[in-house]
Amino acid sequence: MRSRLFAGMRREEVETILPCLAGTVQTFAKEDCLLRAGEPAGRMGLLLEGAAQVVQEDYWGRRFLVARIEAGELFGESFACLEGETLPVSVIAAEPCATLLLEGRAVLRPCARACPGHGKLMGNLLEILAVKNTALTRKMEHLTRRTTREKLLSYLSEQARRCGGGRFSIPFTRQELADYLAVDRSAMSRELSRMREDGLCNFAGREFVLREPPAPE
What DSSP string runs through 82-146? STT-B-SSEEEESSSEEEEEEEHHHHHS--TT--TTHHHHHHHHHHHHHHHHHHHHHHHHHHTSS
What pLDDT, on a 0 to 100 scale, did the predictor assign at position 78?
82
Tell me the per-residue pLDDT of 42-66, one tens digit each, with 9 for 90 and over.
888 999 999 999 998 876 777 788 8
Write down the pLDDT at residue 212: 66
Which parts of the chain sit beneath pLDDT 50?
none
- State residue 21's pLDDT score: 82
In this predicted structure, what is the pLDDT of residue 150? 94
CA atoms in the 13 A half-sphere facing the CB of 149: 13
Strand order in the sheet with 97-103: 24-28, 97-103, 43-49, 74-75
pLDDT attached to residue 113: 65
Task: Specify the pLDDT at position 216.
Answer: 53
